Amino acid sequence: MTAIPPVDGLTIGAALRRAAARRPDGEALVFPQAGFRATYSEMDARVDGVARSLLALGIRAQAVGVPDPRFGEEVCVWIRLRRGATATADEIRSFCKSRLAYFEVPRYVKFVDEFPLTVTGKVQKFRIREQEIEEYGLGPGHGDVAYDDKTDGHPASPPEPVVTRHRGSA
């Protein structure tokens, strides 16, 4: 399977918001094997709910999609903790698992001190995506390097998580 490029250069969140505005009741995800169906507006609300919960805990997170040969894209999240706050990748994943479907839980987790910003203070998600693709050797021509395929053989099995710490993070 070939990795699917971002739609019109948009991040997952931006594409989801655009689709929710255009077709709020359109089916965004359908997994008959798992009995899961969600509309664009439901998916947008779920993502926003998790983001608000993380903010309430003193955690700022930025999620982007990175290429994956098996799923097209996998979720990568950069996390910036409030000063004095602590969290582990397992805690973040557990938090997400309790609120999201397994395929929405981030595979790549990185703790950072800051996000790349524009001069007006907006997060440059395309830079996060570029850095992750470079760091993990993801993208066209990299085949199975994107993950260690040690699943139980079930087609719906998620890959194992990858956790890294950015320089300067505790």
Instruction: Compute the distance between CA of residue 72 and CA of residue 6 in angstroms, rounded to an integer.
Output: 10
Number of domains in the chain: 1
Token pair of 129, please? 């995506």
Q: Is the pTM of this model over 0.75?
A: no
Instruction: Compute the distance between CA of residue 141 and CA of residue 143 in angstroms, rounded to an integer.
Output: 6
Answer whether residue 155 is part of any domain: no
The one-digit pLDDT tens for each residue of the chain (170 residues) are 444 455 566 666 677 778 778 887 887 766 666 677 778 788 777 777 777 788 787 788 888 888 887 777 888 999 999 888 888 999 988 988 888 888 788 899 999 999 999 999 898 999 999 999 999 888 665 544 433 344 333 333 444 555 555 555 44
Answer whether residue 2 is part of any domain: no
pLDDT of res. 9: 61
Answer whether residue 24 is part of any domain: yes
Residue with tokens 């739609």: 7
Q: Which three-class secondary structure state does DSSP give residue 64? A: strand
Instruction: Compute the distance between CA of residue 147 and CA of residue 150 in angstroms, rounded to an integer.
Output: 9
The phi-psi region of residue 141 (left if phi > 0; otherwise alpha if psi is between -120 and 50; otherwise beta) is: left
Pair 3, 74: CB distance under 8 Å: no
Other C-beta atoms lying within 10 Å of the C-beta of residue 127? 14
Encoded amino acid at 8, one letter: D
pLDDT of res. 24: 79
Answer whether residue 42 is part of any domain: yes
Token pair of 65, please? 């999609």
Answer whether residue 170 is part of any domain: no
Pair 136, 146: CB distance under 8 Å: yes
pLDDT of res. 144: 42
Q: Which three-class secondary structure state does DSSP give residue 12? A: helix
Q: Are strands 108-111 and 72-81 parallel, antiparallel or unpaired?
A: parallel
| CATH number for position 103 | 3.30.300.30
Answer whether residue 52 is part of any domain: yes
Encoded amino acid at 51, one letter: A
Answer whether residue 49 is part of any domain: yes
Answer whether residue 152 is part of any domain: no
The domain in which residue 16 lies consists of 7-147+160-165
Q: Which three-class secondary structure state does DSSP give residue 52? A: helix
